[in-house]
Amino acid sequence: MNKLISVFSCFALLLFFSGTKPHFSAPAKAPNILLIMADDMGFADIGCYGSEVATPNLDRLAAKGIRFRQFYNNARCCPTRASLLTGVYPHQAGIGHMSNDPEDSTSFNYNLPGYQGSLNNKCVTIAEVLKTKGYQTLMSGKWHVGYHGEQRWPMQRGFDKYYGLLAGATNYFNPSGGRGLMLMNEKVKPQGENFYLTDAITDYAVKFLDENKKESKAPFFMYLAYTSPHWPLNALEADVKKYRGQYKKGWKALRQARYEKMKALGVIDKNAGLSDADGADWDELSAAKQDEMDHRMALYAAQIDRMDQNIGRVIKQLETSGELDNTLIFFLSDNGACAEGGLLGGGLPENLGTKLGYLLSYGQSWANVSNTPFKKFKHWVHEGGISTPLIVHWPKAIPQGRLGKFTDQYGFLPDIMATIVDVSKAQYPSTYKGNEIVPLQGKSLLPLIYGKETPVHTAPVFWEHEGNAAVRQGNLKLVSEYHTGQPVQWELYDISKDRSELNNLAATMPQKVAELSAAYQNWARYVGVIPYSEVIKIREGKRKAPKTGI
């Protein structure tokens, strides 16, 4: 008898340590899902990841959820959104570079399967998948994965309700023309003298959620895609006042302060390196220029602050309706901080703090702060270009001992689709509306959410944008920066010891460079990557598009 008890005890212990059965019960009711995306926000730009910007609502989600130290996007707006929504690599979804523009139906449309500039018919969106499980699918915010042709719009790709802009950016106070607003499938004008885009996106998100509660009672999927803090630097005066004058010590001092706070919070290891400063010399600027740069950063901070205030409104609505505990919430950014506009930013200084301007940006020197402690920016696939905060909040499922903790396991965008398929018990299709669908490329993060701290990815994951390329497998990352007319120069880093990519191991580990670069080439052929030098020639009309693709 004692021997029998011992056998059963061993078996029970084996089950426990193998993780084959979680030590809690997942929610019986199908969970709601809220996917929140910020736009052009750096890794260190919110409070719970090291920023001085006030983000109490995101900090609250982090304190009652889990945070990822290592989660990756695709370095640019369109490729990220394509991959996030579909669970496949951006080239497989048809947006290997960018989406076409409102002003030009042919821009970023190269007649290539992987570069058509809009979501293709070989992928499905999260909304299309969740509708098969009875979810009401709602979206408010920036689309940017297909503009010309109604068949490319949100409601034609699975969403029941939509409000926002189809394009990539607009003036926050006066969205107009091709960069204007849509409600369902109709163009609409901004309402009221005090219109502000971040507020309006939230107004409709709350409205849609309220309608769902009253009319549908179905579980919902809400994709809340803010344009904040993407340029133009348009912010409300009351929010700007909180930050005006705080940035006159300059970017070097602020970057050091964030670096120290990130170590204290546990966002980065206490021994993590800080990459070299990549900005102008603050002390060489005139007093007037320093004041202008303080103003630019204050506007940027105010945009993030306002976004957080609006996320708080959505959380309050979920609390009021009794849905917060059973809502799985993700928050992330679409790429690293944006260095567009040069070292000191773009746009006319006299437009700062007004309702005018479109190309107003805060510049590379401040973006280097936003990406603390990493190097490079949006467009590149070094850590500064592809690293995003990821907060996951789900009170009914995350074990109590995990709340407020970090995970060191890494993931990337297709994992969001895989996780949503997993928690909703939906079936990811092999065919949809008569089209063969690319297999799901992500892995479910559910084991991490449930507290099982084991690697999600054992096979390599890949990136390519504008010729910038990377592979990550385990702790090793192979990465290269594109330079016109120059051969690829691979760099190799051990991310577990060198997240800031300061110690290039390529010369000492040539076999690993050869192995990972060969894996990259095989992947590139599989998903339909075209060498960026050829993409440029095709775009300029100097070469016909080759027949290639999935």
Q: Give pLDDT tens digits for 92-111.
A: 999 999 998 899 988 898 88
CA dist 164 and 146 (Å) reads 13
Q: What is the pLDDT of residue 14?
A: 31
- Structural element, H or E, at residue 92: helix 90-93
Q: Residue 28's pLDDT band (boundaries 50, 70, 90)? A: low
Q: What is the mean pLDDT of residues 35-54?
A: 98
Query: Does the pLDDT value for residue 91 go beyond 70?
Result: yes
**364 and 324 share one domain:** yes
Active site members: 77, 144
Least confident segment among 135-144, 338-347, 404-413, 534-543: 534-543
pLDDT classification of 186: cutoffs 50, 70, 90: very high
Burial call 285-303: b when 16+ CB within 10 Å, e when fewer: beeeebbbbbbbbbbbbbb
Q: Which pLDDT band, with edges at 50, 70 and 90, does 8 fall under?
A: very low
Q: What is the pLDDT of residue 539?
A: 81
Do 475 and 400 belong together in one domain?
A: no
| Residue corresponding to tokens 């369902």 | 184
Q: Residue 545: what pLDDT?
A: 66
Mean pLDDT lowest among 295-299, 442-446, 543-547: 543-547
Q: Is position 550 within any domain?
A: no
Can you tell me the distance from the alpha carbon of 176 to that of 194, in angstroms, rounded to the nearest whole number? Answer: 15
Contact 235, 302 (CB under 8 A): yes
The candidate with the shortest Cα–Cα distance to 549, out of 534, 523, 529, is 529
Whether the pLDDT of residue 468 is over 90: the answer is yes
For strands 71-72 and 411-412, give the pairing.
parallel
Using the structure block, give the residue that is written with the tokens 């849905």. 323
Residue 106: per-residue pLDDT: 85
Q: Are residues 406 and 513 in the same domain?
A: no
Evaluate whether residue 534 is within a structural domain. Answer: yes
pLDDT surpassing 80 at residue 315? yes
Average per-residue pLDDT in the chain? 93
In a domain? residue 277:
yes
> One-letter amino acid identity for 441?
Q
Q: What is the pLDDT of residue 542?
A: 73
394, 521: one domain: no
Q: In terms of domains, do 269 and 201 share one?
A: yes
Least confident of 17-31, 264-278, 415-429: 17-31
Range of the domain at 366: 32-87+124-133+196-419+440-449
- Closest listed residue to residue 407, CA positions, set 65, 29, 68, 10: 68
pLDDT band at 320 (very low <50, low <70, confident <90, very high): very high
Q: Do 48 and 67 contact (CB within 8 A), yes or no?
A: yes
- Mean pLDDT of the 35-42 span: 98
Cis peptide before 229 (omega within 30 of 0): yes
Tokens for 505, please give them. Answer: 């191991």
Measure the CA dihedral 178/183/186/192, to 10°: -70
Q: How confident is the model at residue 289 (pLDDT cuts 50, 70, 90)?
A: very high
Domain membership of residue 97 (yes or no) is no
pLDDT in tens, 238-265: 999 999 999 999 999 999 999 999 999 9
Q: Which CB contacts under 8 angstroms, 24+ apart, belong to 146-151?
A: 146/99, 146/100, 146/117, 146/118, 146/119, 147/99, 147/100, 147/101, 147/102, 147/105, 147/118, 147/178, 148/100, 148/105, 148/118, 149/118, 150/185
State mean pLDDT over 391-414: 96
Q: pLDDT (tens digit, 9 = 90+) per residue, 56-76?
A: 999 999 999 999 999 999 999
Nearest to 530 by CA among 510, 550, 505: 550
pLDDT at residue 7 greater than cutoff 50? no
Q: At what angle do helices 56-63 and 287-320 cross, to 10 degrees?
A: 50
Residue 206 belongs to a domain: yes
Does the pLDDT value for residue 11 go beyond 60?
no
The number of folded domains in the chain is 2
Q: What distance in Å separates the CA atoms of residue 413 and residue 421, rounded to the nearest whole number?
A: 14
Average pLDDT rounded to a whole number, residues 351-364 = 97
The CATH code of the domain that includes 532 is 3.30.1120.10
Q: Give me the mean pLDDT over the 510-514 stretch.
A: 98
Strand, helix or coil for residue 34? strand
| pLDDT, position 359 | 95
Q: Which of 209-218, 339-348, 494-503, 505-514 has the lowest mean pLDDT?
A: 209-218
Q: How far is CA 27 from CA 60, 135, 209, 327, 450, in A?
A: 22, 16, 20, 10, 12
Distance CA 114, CA 117 (A): 8
Domain presence at residue 42:
yes
Q: Is the pLDDT of residue 2 over 90?
A: no
Report the percentage of the chain scoring pLDDT > 70: 94
Q: What CA–CA distances, in Å, run from 486 to 357, 469, 482, 520?
A: 37, 14, 8, 18
- What local confidence, expressed as pLDDT, does residue 13 receive? 32
Candidate from 11-15, 219-223, 421-425, 446-450 with smallest mean pLDDT: 11-15
Is residue 368 located within the same domain as residue 502? Answer: no
Same domain membership, residue 256 and residue 334 = yes
Region 21-25: what's the mean pLDDT? 37
Strands 136-142 and 71-72: unpaired
On whether both 350 and 479 belong to a single domain, the answer is: no
Residues 286, 393 within the same domain: yes
364 occurs within a structural domain = yes
Q: Judge if 470 and 355 occupy the same domain.
A: no
Q: What is the mean pLDDT of residues 180-203?
A: 96
State whether 253 and 371 are in the same domain. yes
Report the pLDDT value the prediction gives residue 217, as an integer from 0 to 100.
81
pLDDT confidence of residue 6? 39
CA–CA separation, 251 vs 42, rounded Å? 14
The pLDDT tens digits of the residues spanning 154-169 come to 999 999 999 999 999 9
392 and 475 in a common domain:
no
Q: What is the CATH number of the domain that holds 263?
A: 3.40.720.10
Query: What's the Rg (C-alpha) of the chain?
Result: 23
**Arithmetic mean of pLDDT, 365-384:** 98
User: Does residue 19 have a pLDDT over 50?
Assistant: no
In a domain, 273, yes or no: yes
> Environment class of residue 356 by beta-carbon count within 10 Å: exposed (0-12), middle (13-18) or buried (19+)?
middle
Kindly give the pairing relationship between strand 66-68 and strand 405-407.
parallel
